Structure 1
């Protein structure tokens, strides 16, 4: 096993938050420069500051482009290369933005200028090919006409004396916020020459995705005459509804359904450069709610086909056509890593080729034959590289000096025999000074989802290097249900949650216990979201699949505890599909997959962490679990954040989170207590 050179200082939570965080890049039309937002955090001030930076693909030092804004984000280079558009909330000309607005800045510097004032704000945007117009998303009252009416309605809404949220919609909140009451996301066009803004969907029944409408939800045709978009055609919006593709005529506002097929969900449309084909992501939800996201193409005759039906991987947006329109580029996971792929057309030519091998390819852009990738690894946070003839070439070194001052542990993957005899991947991250001749504690970190995966990637909220630097071997099992191992593996846990995953995690722990360098009396397990469900499930299975005393302590972050109570979640229509029934249809079936039904067997000390703004796993889940453990006399500690959602995002709160997390582990692996634990 490779040894890691040990610099002076351990990598801890403060070092983590001192790093710069680079956002998604946008390339200039000539491919010579990329622009991206860079966010830095001030632990003392407990706040963030984001600005735009320019990075050369030809060499040279990065250059900061914006100074005045606090949250400059989502930059996009204009097709003509003369301007960069971005979103921000600023004060300019005596007017302070109440909602995010579009700003423009020249790439050679100067003061950014507000492109327009949109009362209802800007959610996401795209440039038109002529560089004179911008299409953007804004949440509006669909029954009102004109910008003045929208502004008056927003002012009245903000001035109201009541605080209630009133709705008769099935889908009314998402993640950590309520869907704007009475408003829907519409496509708009801003003409930069005149400053005129038009709502292209005004007076229609169409709108974009109510959950997370973004720049991948729509695309503008090469001639600028049409915009294609993904939308839910059903009258009642539900998270599991299948989306269709619509098209709007920019000049006339005429709307039509471009592609709608029963049982198929379509998303992330992208025009070819010649405009004759449209690439998009297609999932056959009518066959299975866990159907994989596949690559599909629609031609100008109305014929469409799935290209990747025989390729057992899932395609991730964005999609990009190569300049000659003879290949498509996209990202997809494979065995816990995410690569950048290129699929040559026609699809009969074979499977796609890997353009960039992760680690974890987070995003990319391509212009003028140049490809830039934002990528990360367990060993380093997101960085920008340009794909050269000899492989990836770094474009920046923003974090290199800070990283060089700290110690990092080596990581590797092993495979264990999991449930049903299937091979299961487990990632290991070792302490920086790891020595096989010594005995080490171990920490199982169980991922959420369940249909996601831990991989060779950098995690800001659950950083494996911070955990390993605390002096323990970190293990991450990609149990049955995880993504990136094929659709059969991902779907295998449906209607029997907890069963296969428990066997897989225990197989991983069995592997650890067979290593001479693991201290068998110092094992802990932790997890967030579905991972939190798993540790609550494991605690309730003490003596019923989990050996008593195997784990000295658990940490349950935003964990699911009671599937009946989980009907308060924003995804309440999705869980019955996964569990195989709603709680009123088959109570026994649902209870058989619920930690609350076996909590009488829980004996292991547990740290419970939850945020009040968590609508994915409402905080009553964590409170009920903590209260139950306390009522039963099981050692437990609660960390409850009134201002955090499913994640802990504020610097000081994160500092506390890591402190409580590691103190709990230390208490039950060394017998010591710190941080008041």
Structure 2
């Protein structure tokens, strides 16, 4: 008897269905098999975006969010879902319009969450949602005291009268800003004189007492601007104090410093103490051990260096001793949590092109100041992007790969294995063709080993020739790991028929502190030579069409494209730069976080000791060498890399009669956040590649 395969059965079913339908009948059994197709911008934006929101107090249920984008309305809708970690049972938990965010999950299963600035309550297993707070005051970054008697939240407070209508109320139709200091604009907004402040108030059954401003009348931010959130403040375990992160500097001093500190505010007396006095870099993410005996936080050593080595600091309350738990480890920490038994700390960090889990044992005798052994506990071609919490002998984590958006996984601490908890996008990925991903080691120009990820098109055939794209990462000191982006998506780019090579050039975490630091004040030096080494090396492969090579990138990656345009010596046929730095002098004069410019370039352009950053490593200085087609994206509200950078590069290309195109996004910042704008971005991106590559 002939053996029937699944494929044969599928064909038979399709034939039966077609026959019945041709006679006007209706099939009761219909199986359709479809060949997976390469991912495209539409399928990318159809994916659900998963966020882990928290674990129930018994560790048995996960609350997670899923955001879905609606192309017609150009909006994203986020709802909360539950899933049992034991059997996978669960479902949709909220269906309100807008976006819900979990504040806390109580012992009885009540979930307190924020929706449109107000608190709501709903039980995990029964009952309807109940609105707890109302009124005009919209709450942000809410945290309840452990004893449940107080609420901590943030609000924006008018401190300085920078805008003309505040300074001159008799001129209500005026629109002017008046400044005497720097920090007049940040990221994508001009400073309107309002500062984020933490507030504390009594709380009972949705009733909020008179709030107390912890930073009353002070022009300081907490949470930190522009991206700080609820992680910037915590309650002490006894509910008697609040710890908050703040950079207590103003104006020009604020713009040139990264020195945030952790402050302790006493509820009873209203007194404030600086817990990190004398620690000069970023001090953030305070967290108490579960038993409340130890305080930990993340700390950088150097003021003005935003990408310094990030260490875990332990403060023992009984002895008042501080200990840097990771000082001896050649890496930089992303995030961490305590183990439930107070004995270990688990953390994530970039390593060799991925982000993995690590653990350290907390010293039992801090007075000995012995440093703990640190070991990596997960391995694989993926990124552990966050740790949600611990339940039993498992960590609940979020994970991405180049070919998979965020999902939640369970990591078994005993056998070091990962198990998927959520599978929001599994059905959609089943219809998407897979891409081969390979690791590649190149000898750099100085003899060092240079690691790259190589992403191939679906159904890659080494007997064919493919156009090849060099991907230049931004940062400049951000890790190039197995990230998943809804714009710079390397799977999406490769799936249009291109090979993508993404080098871990000098300046990237994951290869030791020295490698990470090597890019500072050498932007146009070894990192650019690393890029050329990577593209030259892969070009030796017979499947690379050396007549069809491109370089693309954003931010420092855009700078890299501009710099390569002047030194590539005909390697590339086309370029794409997004919000790249083109003229270092004008950039220094218009960017907002000057601590970054001072550290990375060495300082101001008028100081002769920094000449190299503004001449040899300045793309505009090589304008005479430009001759290659270039597409330039520029956001109108990007104050990190202001609009003049993209406009000047486009004007150069046009005046030299180089095929060039400018895509100006007036309402976007350093990123592209609007769904419709992102669709335009991707259509122009791929249209340009088709035209020029």
Q: TM-score scaled to structure 2, two decimals?
A: 0.87
Pair 1:48 & 2:76 matched: yes
Equivalent position of 1:254 in the other structure: 271
Select between 291-300 and 255-264 the one with higher mean Cα deviation.
255-264
CA distance in 2, matches of 1:118, 1:498: 54
One of 644, 647, 650 as aligned partner of 2:674: 650
One of 331, 353, 356 as aligned partner of 1:313: 331
Equivalent position of 1:77 in the other structure: 104
| Cα 1:606/1:207, change in 2 over 3 Å | closer
Query: Does the CA contact (< 8 Å) of 1:50 and 1:71 recur in 2?
Result: yes
Query: Does the CA contact (< 8 Å) of 2:304 and 2:595 recur in 1?
Result: no
Give the deviation of 1:79 after TM superposition: 4.1
Query: Does the CA contact (< 8 Å) of 1:120 and 1:140 recur in 2?
Result: no
Give the deviation of 1:117 after TM superposition: 4.7
Equivalent position of 2:175 in the other structure: 163
CA distance in 1, matches of 2:215, 2:466: 63
Select between 304-313 and 77-86 the one with higher mean Cα deviation.
77-86
Pair 1:87 & 2:114 matched: yes
Equivalent position of 1:345 in the other structure: 362
Select between 417-426 and 401-410 the one with higher mean Cα deviation.
417-426
Equivalent position of 1:30 in the other structure: 58
Cα offsets for 1:427-471 (capped at 9, x unmatched):
101101101111111111111000012212212221111111100
1:495 aligned counterpart, secondary structure: coil
| Cα 1:76/1:624, change in 2 over 3 Å | same
Give the deviation of 1:627 after TM superposition: 0.9
- Structure 2 regions of 5+ residues with no counterpart? 1-32, 364-369
Give the deviation of 1:253 after TM superposition: 2.5
Equivalent position of 1:67 in the other structure: 95
Pair 1:12 & 2:40 matched: yes
| Cα 1:207/1:118, change in 2 over 3 Å | farther
Query: Does the CA contact (< 8 Å) of 1:524 and 1:552 recur in 2?
Result: yes
1:183 aligned counterpart, secondary structure: strand
| Cα 1:364/1:132, change in 2 over 3 Å | farther
Query: Does the CA contact (< 8 Å) of 1:18 and 1:40 recur in 2?
Result: yes
Give the deviation of 1:551 after TM superposition: 0.6
Give the deviation of 1:60 after TM superposition: 2.2
1:420 aligned counterpart, secondary structure: coil
CA distance in 2, matches of 1:53, 1:344: 34
Equivalent position of 1:359 in the other structure: 382
CA distance in 1, matches of 2:149, 2:391: 21
Pair 1:584 & 2:600 matched: no
Query: Does the CA contact (< 8 Å) of 2:256 and 2:594 recur in 1?
Result: no
One of 482, 493, 497 as aligned partner of 1:471: 497
Note the 1:382-531 alignment, pairs <5 A.
Answer: 382-388=406-412, 390=415, 391-531=417-557
Cα offsets for 1:202-247 (capped at 9, x unmatched):
5364652243332221221222111222222345423523122210
Higher Rg: 2
One of 558, 565, 575 as aligned partner of 1:554: 575
| Cα 1:427/1:114, change in 2 over 3 Å | same
CA distance in 2, matches of 1:286, 1:609: 32
Give the deviation of 1:111 after TM superposition: 4.7
Number of corresponding residues: 638
Q: TM-score scaled to structure 1, two decimals?
A: 0.89
CA distance in 1, matches of 2:240, 2:529: 55
Pair 1:125 & 2:142 matched: yes
Query: Does the CA contact (< 8 Å) of 2:561 and 2:575 recur in 1?
Result: yes
Query: Does the CA contact (< 8 Å) of 2:154 and 2:196 recur in 1?
Result: no
Cα offsets for 1:225-274 (capped at 9, x unmatched):
11222222345423523122210113432212222115343211111122
CA distance in 1, matches of 2:295, 2:649: 49
Measured on the aligned residues, the alpha-carbon RMSD in Å equals 2.6
Select between 377-386 and 417-426 the one with higher mean Cα deviation.
417-426
Give the deviation of 1:179 after TM superposition: 4.2
| Cα 1:109/1:532, change in 2 over 3 Å | farther
Equivalent position of 1:613 in the other structure: 637
Query: Does the CA contact (< 8 Å) of 1:190 and 1:196 recur in 2?
Result: yes
